């Protein structure tokens, strides 16, 4: 919220200084250090080039760029234009304040966030459709501690057959992800097939292992023909670059820019994405029945958390967070009570 107000405010202050200086009006700041033209123009231009996170900021960016261009080529600014510019500044400031009050959520069309009045503790009361978030008894994520672990001899290796498909990178405000078109792969859970629909990242991780929270968690969301959902979760610790994120790094930067242009969800076509690297048979995983970790917190989701921890670099994590709004940069739902649930462990090496 602070950023929403500060950016246009700083723009307004600079415009005021510029206009006051050009028109011999009472300056707001000490202008002795300001050599107009040589200092103000680059400053105004740099403000106009600030990276933006919200669609509303783009308006300020565009306007400041136009004003900078105009002011930098004109040797004189008419007093009437100056007064008009100040009025426009004031109007923008009012709009910015209104936006700051109204946009406590990540994007306008999403009615929840990860902090404050629309944060996780309030999700259940934000909409009747979200009631499971507060009333549910088998919610996710959970901390996978020894006390709730059981070994189920009937569990089989987690079989996934993935290939390549046309995909789109999306930012829905509360997380970033990749949406697949058509058939890209299948997960086999106890003989039932679930098709891979999309994957998205959370940071820091939502699930924990023995109380340890990881820097990031990837959710591969699968759906069966009866609409039931099963998620494969991959935990990340800091280390080498993740191969998949390396492939889409440029597109993440593009997404951050795209997010600023549109009022609604931003999408970047990725072309054909091959995710068969995830196909490896998992020799160790944790299974339990929980829920979606975002509203509407729908229950009876079958979770499969892989035992193999992958690596991600700090740079990559920053790139994943950059396009998200400040309220959702940390998009990890707090831990939920197991409520007597057990987490089943499949460990091929231990079972032998
Ligand atoms: Zn998720």
Same domain, 185 and 216: yes
Residue 245 within a domain: yes
Buried-state track 33-60, b at ≥16 Cβ within 10 A, e below 16: ebeeeeebbeebeebbeeebbbbbbbbb
Residue 111 within a domain: no
Same domain, 121 and 86: no
The confidence band for 71, taking pLDDT boundaries of 50, 70 and 90, is low
Least confident range of 56-70, 72-86, 95-109, 241-255: 95-109
Residue 202 within a domain: yes
Same domain, 183 and 327: yes
Instruction: Find, among 157, 194, 202, 178, the residue nearest to 351 by Cα.
Output: 157
Ligand 1 centre to CA of 3 (Å) is: 27
Mean pLDDT (whole number) for 162-184: 91
User: Of all residues in the chain, what percent are helix, strand and coil, respectively (each to 5)?
Assistant: 40, 25, 35
Same domain, 188 and 322: yes
Ligand 1 centre to CA of 6 (Å) is: 32
Q: What is the pLDDT of residue 283?
A: 85
Same domain, 190 and 333: yes
176 has a pLDDT exceeding 80: yes
Domain region containing 84: 2-102
Cα separation, 107 vs 265, whole angstroms: 8
Residue 30 within a domain: yes
What does the angle CA 313 – CA 172 – CA 158 come to, to the nearest 5 degrees? 60
Ligand 1 centre to CA of 294 (Å) is: 7
Same domain, 193 and 292: yes
Same domain, 43 and 144: no
Ligand 1 centre to CA of 330 (Å) is: 12
Ligand 1 centre to CA of 206 (Å) is: 8
The confidence band for 253, taking pLDDT boundaries of 50, 70 and 90, is confident
Q: What is the pLDDT of residue 97?
A: 60
Least confident range of 154-168, 228-242, 334-348: 154-168
Q: What is the pLDDT of residue 267?
A: 86
- Residue at a domain's end among 72, 102, 132: 102
- Residue at a domain's end among 68, 102, 136: 102
Residue 108 within a domain: no
Residue 107 within a domain: no
* Partners of 198 in beta bridges: 179, 221
The more confident residue out of 35 and 157 is: 157
- Using CA of residue 254, residue 235, residue 210, residue 222, what is the dihedral sign? positive
Same domain, 262 and 343: yes
CA Rg, the chain, in Å?
25
Q: What is the DSSP string of 130-189?
A: GTHHHH-SS-S--EE-GGGEEE-TT---BEEEE-EEEEEEEE-SS-EEEEEPS--EEEEE
Q: What is the pLDDT of residue 34?
A: 42
Instruction: Find, among 109, 108, 36, the residue nearest to 75 by Cα.
Output: 36
- Indicate the number of domains in the chain: 2
Mean pLDDT (whole number) for 6-12: 57
Token digits of residue 107: 């994007």
Same domain, 196 and 50: no
Token digits of residue 321: 């967070």
Same domain, 15 and 76: yes
Ligand 1 centre to CA of 48 (Å) is: 35
Same domain, 210 and 300: yes
The confidence band for 115, taking pLDDT boundaries of 50, 70 and 90, is very high
Ligand 1 centre to CA of 240 (Å) is: 23
Ligand 1 centre to CA of 169 (Å) is: 15
Q: What is the pLDDT of residue 289?
A: 98
Ligand 1 centre to CA of 171 (Å) is: 13
Same domain, 185 and 307: yes
Mean pLDDT (whole number) for 89-116: 61
Ligand 1 centre to CA of 211 (Å) is: 19
- Residue at a domain's end among 41, 69, 102: 102
- CATH number of residue 312's parent domain: 3.10.200.10
């Amino acid at each position: 919220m602070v950023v929403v107000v500060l950016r246009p405010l700083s723009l307004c202050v600079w415009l005021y200084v510029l206009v006051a200086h050009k028109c011999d009006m009472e300056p707001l700041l000490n202008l002795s250090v300001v050599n107009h033209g040589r200092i103000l123009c680059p400053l105004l231009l740099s403000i106009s080039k600030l990276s933006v996170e919200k669609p509303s900021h783009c308006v300020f960016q565009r306007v400041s760029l136009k004003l900078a261009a105009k002011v930098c080529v004109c040797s004189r600014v008419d007093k009437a234009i100056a007064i008009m510019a100040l009025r426009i500044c004031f109007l923008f400031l009012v709009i910015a304040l209104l936006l700051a009050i109204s946009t406590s959520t990540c994007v306008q069309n999403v009615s929840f966030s990860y902090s404050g009045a629309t944060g996780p503790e309030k999700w259940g009361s934000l909409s009747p459709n979200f009631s499971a978030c507060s009333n549910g008894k088998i919610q996710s994520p959970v901390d996978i501690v020894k006390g709730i672990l059981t070994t189920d001899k009937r569990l089989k290796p987690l079989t996934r057959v993935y290939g390549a498909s046309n995909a789109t990178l999306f930012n829905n405000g509360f997380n970033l992800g990749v949406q697949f078109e058509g058939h890209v792969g299948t997960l086999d859970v106890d003989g039932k097939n679930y098709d891979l629909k999309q994957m998205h990242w959370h940071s820091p991780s939502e699930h924990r292992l023995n109380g340890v929270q990881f820097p990031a968690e990837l959710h591969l969301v699968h759906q069966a023909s009866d609409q039931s959902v099963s998620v494969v979760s991959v935990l990340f610790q800091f280390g080498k670059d993740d191969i998949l994120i390396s492939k889409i790094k440029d597109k993440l930067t593009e997404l951050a820019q795209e997010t600023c242009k549109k009022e609604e969800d931003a999408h970047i076509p990725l072309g054909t994405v091959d995710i068969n690297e995830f196909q490896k048979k998992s020799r160790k995983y944790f299974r339990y029945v929980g829920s979606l970790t975002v509203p509407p917190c729908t229950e009876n989701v079958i979770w499969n958390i892989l035992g193999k921890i992958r690596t991600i670099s700090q740079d990559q994590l920053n790139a994943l967070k950059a396009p998200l709004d400040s309220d959702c940069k940390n998009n990890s739902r707090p831990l939920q009570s197991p409520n007597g649930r057990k987490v089943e462990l499949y460990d091929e090496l231990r079972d032998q």
